[in-house]
Amino acid sequence: MLTDIFEGIAYLFEEILFYPFDLLRDLELDSWWAANALNFIFILVGLAAFAFWMKQLKHYNELDDEDRDPTAHSFLG
């Protein structure tokens, strides 16, 4: 009974959930670029998020409405 549960979990992961990774592994033998396209997309999304975050920080820094006195926060001094 308990063995069947663990074998069911193993089947779920090995045959169903990791199936896309098996396809990528097979694709890598034909085209490294195609197999890593998803990684490049993640990198582009990360760079876009970083650029947006830096733009927002610059915007709020230019508003100059923040109290930058070192004693403005009790934990600073």
DSSP state of 65: -
Task: Judge whether 22 lies within some domain.
Answer: yes
Higher-scoring residue by pLDDT: 70, 18: 18
Average pLDDT rounded to a whole number, residues 10-33: 94
pLDDT 10s digits, 28-75? 999 999 999 999 999 999 999 999 999 999 999 999 888 777 776 777
Question: Both 41 and 57 in a single domain?
Answer: yes
- What is the predicted pLDDT for the residue at 65? 84
Query: What 3-state DSSP class applies to 39?
Result: helix
- CA neighbor of 35 nearest in space, from 48, 43, 26, 46: 26
- What is the predicted pLDDT for the residue at 18? 96
Task: Judge whether 77 lies within some domain.
Answer: no
23 vs 35: CA distance, rounded Å: 9
Q: Which domain holds residue 19?
A: 1-30
- What is the predicted pLDDT for the residue at 76? 65
- What is the predicted pLDDT for the residue at 77? 57
Question: Both 41 and 56 in a single domain?
Answer: yes
